[in-house]
Amino acid sequence: MTAPTLAERFREDFPILDQTVHGKPLAYLDNAASTQHPVEVIEEISRYYRESHANVHRGLHALSSRATELYEHARQRVAAYLNSESSESIVFTRGTTEAINLVACAWGDRLKPDDGILLTEMEHHANLIPWQMAARRTGAKLHFLAVNGDEGQVDWTRLESVLEQQPIRILALTHISNSLGCINPVAEVCRIARKHGVTTLIDAAQSAGHMPLDVQAIGCDFLAFSGHKCCGPTGIGVLYGRKELLDQMPPYQTGGEMIVSVNFEGAEWKPAPHRFEAGTPHIAGAIGLGAALDYLDSVGRKEIQENDHYFGRQAAARLREIPELRLLGPAGERAGIVSFQLGKIHAHDVVAFADQQGIALRGGHHCNQPLIRKLGLIATARASFYFYNTETELDRLVRVLHSAIAYFG
């Protein structure tokens, strides 16, 4: 199945795309920020609220039992999607950000002064600031693998020597850069880290909805992603963790639901994953996420991945032909993400100009301020594609960028 065929088959499943913006057909090219929702997900969430809404795990009545079954089925669905050893390795969170914060706090408190935390220079703030805070609390030290030039590649051949020379305890890295579109070799990285006894965390925010993911094949200790970047609702995310690690970690937040018993002097926690889900969870979000993962499997995750690579290649090639455009990201295989600086035009002006033509882009530092500054930039414009995008929309983007150059002089 070719990339354009996916849009022909599945675009009509997304009702939000059938609209005009400023009198022009909507071309939604901001999928790295949030993907849109197919009818199946919208209807599944609506069905839950119409037929089964109640609090989970806390009641013996029929609605509560039904809601609990749906919620825990969603956990099992996520486990299958990731090929997790068990659904007990799946913790529901508010998103990737909370999942990484959970690990940085609950696992990170075992760090000692001068222990090493290894990151790349391309990390999203969500996989940087939590580790900065962990280092501040514990005295651990941050180390970074450099990003090289506009292509943004990390020299992974240096990893082994870094792990041999520095007392690294954890390596946290993004699978796919949300700014550069780089695809990092996470399985090989985790293999090397494991050989040196280093714990690994994968930020899969940009990969979970775009390719097959197998945590056992990757060999990671933790993996995090958000529902809203893979056709699911906002406010729901996932932390996968190896069960033996999760059971060693203290709770991240406390309150109702995550306890076995409480007295005035203390409390006994539930085992993972429930010890990390204090309070009433986002039940509808979890159910919607399960429906989204079902939908993505029906489309075909390998096909979605091929679609991403197709549009990444095509968009990069087309944009490189535009005079004065500085393109970021790898020259070879890349995800369906292209970030660029268009001459001396500020990224916000590019995005506003495109919006007037019905094209939704993203402009700014993309929660990558240190990386953008290292590249000598203030902001970039970004187009990011998904399987419901069309080549006609790419053509429109190219025309609009040429028009922007003419308009802004």
Rounded Cα distance between 102 and 207, Å, is 20
Identify the active-site residue in 105, 182, 231, 367.
367
Residues 92, 276: Cα–Cα separation, whole Å: 8
Q: What is the DSSP string of 153-177?
A: EE-GGGHHHHHHHS-EEEEEEESB-
Element (H, E) at 341: strand 337-342
Backbone CA torsion sign across 114, 116, 122, 124: negative
Phi, psi of 32, deg, nearest 5: -70, -20
Question: Which is it for the CA torsion 288, 289, 294, 300, positive or negative?
Answer: positive
Q: Taking Cα atoms as reference points, which of 3, 29, 19 lies closest to residue 338?
A: 29
> Counting Cβ atoms within 10 Å, is residue 300 exposed (0-12), middle (13-18) or buried (19+)?
middle
Q: How far apart are CA 334 and CA 278, in angstroms?
A: 38
* One-letter amino acid of 186: V
Under 8 Å between Cβ of 246 and 91: yes
Please give the Cα distance from 329 to 183 (Å, whole number): 10
Reduced to 3 states (helix: H, G, I; strand: E, B; else coil), residue 99 is helix
Q: How many whole angstroms separate alpha carbon 210 and alpha carbon 343? A: 31
367 in active site: yes
User: 201 by DSSP, 3-state: which?
Assistant: strand
CB 240 within 8 A of CB 214: no
Integer CA distances (angstroms), 227 to 74, 287, 293, in order: 12, 11, 9
Active site residue ranges:
367
